[in-house]
Chains A and B, each alone.
Chain A
């Protein structure tokens, strides 16, 4: 697929035809946008109904944010507000922006539906700010959908394997 290099989420046919390599390209592209702090473009990878969830680590990974306290439970509106906030100088926790580097591996397509697919991958995100570095690691669980030929994220859930955020302190970047 030649247009992939230009716009890694465009030009997609039915979900049944998608191959893992295309998903990897998409996830690498997403990681790259985040590492470059191109957050408004990153937000364009999400559907209008998308959610972004980071549950705490003392309850089951599939728990609902309607009945449990999460670290992050954004609907699409609040995710947009998160991006707006992080692009401001007054988002003190991320000013100056921390440097991050993401490793995405073990990408698997877990199911295929009529208009989308389930994907999981392992991640490590390294973050440096003010002379100190921390690592976030775990599994990312995605629901991806195809809308007018574009591959988009409808659901992204970050399952941390760490004891909460004891080592990292806080979650002021996007994972």
Chain B
């Protein structure tokens, strides 16, 4: 496939916005995405709270690379390439734990949690400077920075600083982080699943306010059928382009929020609990911001593949292409550190009602995305997706598609640019 034909057609004067279905099925586009996006943009690695104590580590795959996210003995967070500088073996083979050092089992080299080579069998067979040569250490990921507890890495050493990269998305990450006075924590247990669909279908779906009534009919039935399951709140809000491919929808919704929208089902205890949370937020931020934090839902996309959804629970979700038609998804729940047992329990109960591969809603999203991917078998004949909803409005609504257009415009600027590297600058 050659791309003489554009991947995106945007004509604001006629309210036209079309994305080529090749974007979801062409392996050469995935190859470009790996070079220009996953090797060039900031990618989410993990949250501070996952490695609280010196020696704590987790290993995970980020952008197709095996990475160790660890706190060294001095308390400094590290992102190490999980490959031995000697001959390449994966050094750490555990998913998580607490380590005094990492030992590569192949030839037995031992590294500090900071990645420094400590010793290797047969040291006298190596030159004098071998140990002080930084090439002998485990390699740090080229760039590693954090914002409010969210740690990101980038494989391009020349990328802009993380705070600049996040740009306008910071306002929304701040709102999400501010729901906790003591700071957010990632809750134990990680959902790992997969979808037989192109990764960008999940980008769209994660910020799609248009599909709820149809795709999530059974979830909405469930809320309606459950005594006290609903707050008196409409599904109303806006979709925003935050620049740099980042986007958000912000809206009110009828479900309960542990921070902090009460539903009758949670009873008097719940009501008191939520009132206290609300008071604390007001004392800290004033009533206007407190109200926004408590009542508004946010589905935030940080380009290219981090979703932070502050909805009936708080979820951090990231996903990577395995092929052009399959992705792996990782999802975590987060909550305020200071939250009571009651609130934590309800947060998790609420989370599972909707979210995750065993929830009442996410499996139906997955089914929809997989059927989109199957539908693209006809992409030679039926070539374009339509993403124009709301182009005729001054302020696009949460159930319009402006937030998806924001993603696609930036994606297209990286993928269609006629350069071989440095496209993400």
Seen from chain A, the residues whose Cβ lies within 8 Å of a Cβ on chain B are: 54-59, 63, 65-73, 78, 81-82, 84-85, 88, 90-94, 130, 132, 163-172
Chain A positions within 8 Å of B150 at CB level: none
| CB closest chain-A residue, reference B187 | A69
Given contacts A70-B358, A172-B357, 7 further A-B contacts (CB under 8 A): A63-B188, A69-B189, A85-B221, A163-B192, A166-B328, A169-B194, A169-B357
Contact A169 B366 (CB under 8 A): yes
Seen from chain B, the residues whose Cβ lies within 8 Å of a Cβ on chain A are: 95-96, 187-196, 215, 217-218, 221-222, 225-226, 328, 331-333, 341, 344-345, 348-349, 351-353, 356-358, 360, 362-364, 366-368, 370, 374
Contact B193 A169 (CB under 8 A): yes
What are the nearest 7 A-B pairs in CB distance? A164-B192, A93-B363, A69-B189, A170-B357, A68-B189, A172-B363, A72-B358
Contact A56 B218 (CB under 8 A): no
Chain B positions within 8 Å of A171 at CB level: 357-358, 363
Contact A70 B363 (CB under 8 A): no
| CB closest chain-B residue, reference A77 | B226
Contact B364 A67 (CB under 8 A): no
Chain A positions within 8 Å of B95 at CB level: 58
Chain B positions within 8 Å of A71 at CB level: 191, 352, 356-358
Contact A170 B344 (CB under 8 A): no
Given contacts A85-B222, A92-B215, contact A165 B192 (CB under 8 A): yes
Chain A positions within 8 Å of B368 at CB level: 92
Given contacts A68-B189, A92-B364, A92-B367, contact A169 B196 (CB under 8 A): yes
Contact A69 B333 (CB under 8 A): yes
Alpha-carbon gap, A91 to B225, bound state (A): 16
Partner of A166 from the list B193, B217, B364 (CB cut-off 8 Å) is B193
| CB closest chain-B residue, reference A71 | B358
Contact A56 B189 (CB under 8 A): yes
Given contacts A58-B96, A85-B222, contact A170 B191 (CB under 8 A): no
Alpha-carbon gap, A81 to B265, bound state (A): 15
Contact A90 B192 (CB under 8 A): no
Alpha-carbon gap, A113 to B255, bound state (A): 41
Contact A90 B362 (CB under 8 A): no
